[in-house]
Structure formats: structure tokens, C-alpha cells
Amino acid sequence: MSVQLTEDVHWVGSCEDAGEGRHVHVSVYFIDTGDEYVLVDAGPPHETDIGDEVDRLTGGAGVDTLLLTHTNMPHTGHAREYADRGVRVLSATDIPEEFGGYGELWNRDETVELAGREFSFPKPPMTDHVYSLWLYDHGSGVLFSSEALGNYHPPGRCEAVWEESGDEVSRAEVEAYVRDRLPWVRYVAPEKLESTLRNRLDGYDVSYVAPGHGTPVAGEHLDAYLDRLMDVVREVAGEWSGPSDAARS
Amino acid sequence: MDAMDEPPPWYDPAGEVHAQFNAYLFAGEETLLFDTLPPNMREDVLDALDTVLDGRGLDYLVVSHPEAPHGGNAGAILDAHPDAELLVPETDELHDLALGSAVEDHGEVTDGDELDLGSHAVEFCRSPMFDLAATTWMYERETGALFTVDAYGNAHSAAAGECGRFVDELTDDPEAFTTQRWLGFHSHTFPWFAYVEPERLAAEIEALVDRFDPELVAPAHGAPIREDAVGYLRRLVPVIERISDLGLGQDIRVTELA
């Protein structure tokens, strides 16, 4: 699949069966900066369609830079192959040798010039894994949010983008994703998470939020998405009555 | 408990600070390896298995969660020990992606599942402190060891000879140890601690104490604790309280090690 989000950013995703009649995205994003071709994440190891789509988008030239928001699967499936082909690989981990020895480190909360435009790497206010970073492309205004701001989706809506009605992402799909992938929300004070999340996002002029495992959200609908997400967080955190309940959830 | 402006006493600026990667092998009547070490330590773990097992096979390989530092050598270990049964946490996630096609044939474990190894017996338990949602902790009854995976870790000084040491060999001051080594480690490893209601995780820790009353704490990224294990389990609570007070963006590790 390939969906153009902005003039220079394409969503090149793959979809996996997440059980219970749901799909989950394992997304890769392609950026044409004008100077270079950049890929955000490398997809799962068994996925080959992404490489074919990248070849189509680059006219066979391939990408120049690979930016990894995560250093674990399924974000890094083909990272080693890109590195072996001479692609510059930038990794969010500070111990890249743990993951095969390729890649350069990028640092949190820095803004740097890469591939002819500015990128920022905000520390994720919501993540599963310490070795992950968000990525903000100042040229396109796309914020790549890795594990956060994700959702499941039903088969047949794999290429939907939240642009208009809000029906593109249901509350149930957000809730299921949060319960499965970010179950630590059961321990949180929702207002602490919400203030940090909104404050962090307020620092960026977002054209799209581009998650690793969810439906891209147009910037004008981000507040509505966050309202839905925080409603889920308040529900999950509000269910807490002790460890035995956590064991059953 | 305060984050420190000065480097802690254990830090030697002339030497390397090491992160630790532990896998644990039971080599009794039946054999079980808990975690695999990361890919860059592949030969190390394969050689260690050869040395300890001394010609015996591996019966079980348990991967605590499908992430490279813990499961990145699963395929290689199963290639070397093809009769071993791979066990991973129950999950809807596609964990086999992280472990490679060689390990698609596996079993899943969930909270309360038990495994009799003859001389040892293990019980799997839900992890209350995790990065990936699909994470299992493990308790072994004969040794009283609780395997806490990413929790209860610490950095150490290679120059000071701290590699391969137990906590009781690193300190005789538990309070100082947790302040100097756990605050930074846990704020870094569990960024979501910044948002938690600490009493909820305190309740989780008490539930673990009630359930297992462990005599050993065996983390994946720190020195194993063989004295006052329950006391150390509880000492994480004020660390969590401090991280929650500080909120996100306070990279305490930088202050600890700068």
C-alpha cells in the first residue's frame, strides 16, 4: 500500500492480522526532501512489498537515509540490508551494537539538518520502549509518533486517513490498541500524561501525525484524536482497584 | 531521595560505565535458559551453553519478551539445540517477527503457568514493570529466585571491577545503592514511571512479595540480589515516587553519570 500524506511524504505501510477480526499497521514512511530520499523505519523482516514501493517512488534509485524510530522489530526488519547497501542509518538507540552494529546515534530533543532539511527528535511523551524517538520533519510538518497515537483498524480500512469525519478511527479501535500495546496506562494519573502529551505536541506545527501502528491523523483533527485517546486512558486507569484486576485485564 | 548534581561515588570517570545483560541457565535434571542475550553476544551465549551443558541438550528456552537484547539469539540457540522447546509470553502481538522465522514453532506462557524441571520448578508471572507489553517474569521455587527482566537493573563501573558482581559485593548501604543506581536506571528504562500513581506499583510489588517471598532477585540488566531480596524489592517504591514527582524529561541518568 502507498498513500500520499503531503506533497513530499508517503505512507508506505504494511498490515498484519492482530486477531479478533482486527488489523494493525506496521508502517513505513517515505520522505522526498528534494535533496534525498529518506525512509522512516524499515518494516517487518518478512515484508517485501515496502521495498518494491520504495523502488517505485525512487525510480529504482533507493533511499539515501533510513531513520529508525525504534531499534526493535518490527521497525527494523530490513535495516541491516539498507546499511549493507550503504544507506545512512540513524538509530534511536544509544547502544546500536546491541542490535547488530549498524547505525549512528541520534540524540533526544535535538534539532538537526538531515537530507537538506531540519528534523527534530522529541523525547516521546508516550511510548513502550526506552529506545524509541519521535521524529518531526520541519519541511512537511509530519510528526512520526512511533508506538504512540496508534490504533487497530478493521480489514478493508487499511488505507484510511483521519482527515474529515472522525469515523476513520473508532474509540474501540484506540481502546483495544492502548490496552494491548500500552497497558502501563492502568498505573497512571491521566492528567499527568495528558498535560505532558498536549504540551509536547503544542511545540510542533503538525500537518499529520504518522504513527507506526495506526491511522495517520491530519493536524486539524489532532485535538479530537487526543480527546478520544485520553478518554480511553481515563477509563483504563479508572478501572484500577489492585494487582488482581491487572492480572485479569 | 534527590537526584544528584554530582556524579555518584561509584562512578569512575577514567573508566567505562557498563550496562549489564544477563541470561540465566538452569542445568539440573532438565535444562532451561531464560533469555538469550543480545545479537552481538551470540558467540558468548552459545559458548557458555556449551561449557555449562557439557554435551547435554537444552530442554527449554524462555524469552521474557520479544526484543533483541532478550530474544535476539533465539534462532541461533534453537539451531544449536533443535530439541529445545521455545516458550514466549502470551500475546496478540506478532512476536515471532522479532525472533525470526526459525522460531515460529513455540509455546506461550501466561501468569500462573508452571514448569517442572525435576530438580527445579518455575512459575511464570505477569510483569508489572515492562517496556514491551508482552513480557513475562519467572519465579523458581528451589532457589527462590524471581527473574525481573528489565526491572531492578543498574549500571556499574568496569574500572572498579564491578562486572559480574552481586549487589552485596557492590555495596553495604542499600539506601545509597538504590539512590545512586536505580533512580537513573528506572527513569530511563521505564519512561512511563513519570506518570504513575506510585501506590499502584507499590501494591504490585507487595503482591509479588506475598505470592513468592523471593530469596533472590535476578534482573536482566543489573547485579543479582542475593541478600535481603524482599527489602530490595520494596526499595524500588521511593525510586518510583521520585521519578513520578520529577515527571518526564528529567533524564536523571545524565545527572548521575555526567
Taking an 8 Å cut-off on Cβ atoms, the answer to whether B126 and A247 are in contact is yes
Q: Across the A/B interface, how many CB contacts are shorter than 8 Å? A: 111
Residue A156: band (very low, low, confident or very high) from pLDDT cuts 50, 70, 90: confident
* Across A77-91, A152-166, B88-102, least confident range: B88-102
pLDDT, mean of residues A122-144: 86
pLDDT at A52: 87
pLDDT at B142: 97
In angstroms, the CA B145 to CA B120 distance is 11
**Residue (of A145, A142, A130, A150) closest to A232 by Cα position:** A150
In angstroms, the CA A168 to CA A170 distance is 7
B204 to chain A: which residues are within 8 Å by CB?
243, 246
Taking an 8 Å cut-off on Cβ atoms, the answer to whether B128 and A74 are in contact is no
Nearest CA-CA distance, residue B21 and chain A, Å: 10
pLDDT at A100: 54
Taking an 8 Å cut-off on Cβ atoms, the answer to whether B100 and A242 are in contact is no
pLDDT digits (tens, 9 = 90+) for A174-196: 999 999 889 999 999 999 999 99
In angstroms, the CA B252 to CA B181 distance is 10
Nearest CA-CA distance, residue A109 and chain B, Å: 10
A244 to chain B: which residues are within 8 Å by CB?
207
Q: Compute the radius of gyration of chain B from its Cα atoms.
A: 18
**Residue (of B73, B229, B65) closest to B140 by Cα position:** B229
Q: Model ipTM?
A: 0.90
pLDDT at B232: 97
What Cα–Cα distance (Å) separates residue A127 from each residue in A36, A212, A229, B30?
29, 11, 14, 38
Q: From the list B98, B197, B251, which residue is nearest A72 (CB)?
A: B98
pLDDT, mean of residues A92-96: 55
Closest chain A residue to B98 measured between Cα atoms? Answer: A73
User: Which residues of B make CB contacts under 8 Å with A?
Assistant: 19, 21, 38-40, 66-69, 72, 92-94, 97-98, 100-101, 111, 126, 128, 130-133, 188-192, 194-197, 200-201, 203-204, 207, 244, 247-249, 251
pLDDT at B255: 40
pLDDT at B167: 96
Taking an 8 Å cut-off on Cβ atoms, the answer to whether A98 and B201 are in contact is no
Question: Helices A222-238 and A171-181 meet at what angle, rounded to 10?
Answer: 60
Residue A132: band (very low, low, confident or very high) from pLDDT cuts 50, 70, 90: confident
Question: DSSP letter string over chain A?
Answer: --EE-SSSEEEEEEEEEEETTEEEEEEEEEEE-SS-EEEE----TT--HHHHHHHHHTTT---SEEEESBSSTTS-TTHHHHHHTT-EEEES-S-GGGGTS--EE--TT-EEEETTEEEE-PPPSS-S-SSB--EEETTTTEEEEETSS---B-TT-TT--BSSSSTTS-HHHHHHHHHHH-GGGGGB-HHHHHHHHHHHHHTS--SEEEESSS--EEGGGHHHHHHHHHHHHHHHHHT---HHHHHH-
Nearest CA-CA distance, residue A49 and chain B, Å: 16
pLDDT at A102: 57
Taking an 8 Å cut-off on Cβ atoms, the answer to whether A242 and B203 are in contact is yes
pLDDT digits (tens, 9 = 90+) for B2-55: 555 567 777 777 778 888 899 999 999 999 999 999 888 899 999 999 999 999
Taking an 8 Å cut-off on Cβ atoms, the answer to whether B94 and A123 are in contact is no
Most A CBs within 10 Å, among B63, B97, B131, B199, to test the A interface: B97
Q: From the list B131, B247, B248, which residue is nearest A128 (CB)?
A: B131
If DSSP codes are grouped into helix, strand and coil, which group holds residue B169? Answer: helix
Residue A153: pLDDT over 80: yes
pLDDT digits (tens, 9 = 90+) for A13-37: 788 888 888 999 989 999 999 999 9
Q: From the list A45, A101, A243, which residue is nearest B203 (CB)?
A: A243
Taking an 8 Å cut-off on Cβ atoms, the answer to whether B39 and A99 are in contact is yes
Residues whose CB is less than 8 angstroms from the CB of residue B250 and which lie 6 or more positions away in sequence, other chains included: B3, B187, B194, B243
In angstroms, the CA A89 to CA A41 distance is 10
Taking an 8 Å cut-off on Cβ atoms, the answer to whether A123 and B249 are in contact is yes
Q: From the list A18, A95, A125, which residue is nearest B19 (CB)?
A: A95
Taking an 8 Å cut-off on Cβ atoms, the answer to whether A73 and B97 are in contact is yes
List average pLDDT for each run of 10 residues in chain B, which is 258 residues long: 63 79 96 92 95 96 88 89 92 55 78 97 95 92 98 90 93 90 90 96 97 98 97 97 82 39
pLDDT at B132: 84
Taking an 8 Å cut-off on Cβ atoms, the answer to whether B40 and A20 are in contact is no
Residue A57: band (very low, low, confident or very high) from pLDDT cuts 50, 70, 90: very high
A189 to chain B: which residues are within 8 Å by CB?
195-197
What Cα–Cα distance (Å) separates residue B163 from each residue in A187, A195, B169, B232, B236?
34, 41, 11, 20, 22
In angstroms, the CA B220 to CA B98 distance is 18
Taking an 8 Å cut-off on Cβ atoms, the answer to whether A73 and B98 are in contact is yes
Q: Which three cell numbers stand for residue B34?
A: 531464560
A97 to chain B: which residues are within 8 Å by CB?
40
**8-state DSSP, B161:** T
The sign of the torsion formed by the CA atoms of A219, A223, A229, A230 equals: positive
pLDDT, mean of residues A32-59: 87
Residues whose CB is less than 8 angstroms from the CB of residue A189 and which lie 6 or more positions away in sequence, other chains included: A237, B195, B196, B197
B184 to chain A: which residues are within 8 Å by CB?
none
Taking an 8 Å cut-off on Cβ atoms, the answer to whether A180 and B195 are in contact is no
**Residue (of B188, B193, B189, B191) closest to B204 by Cα position:** B193
Taking an 8 Å cut-off on Cβ atoms, the answer to whether B248 and A97 are in contact is no
Residue A101: pLDDT over 60: no
In angstroms, the CA B228 to CA A45 distance is 44
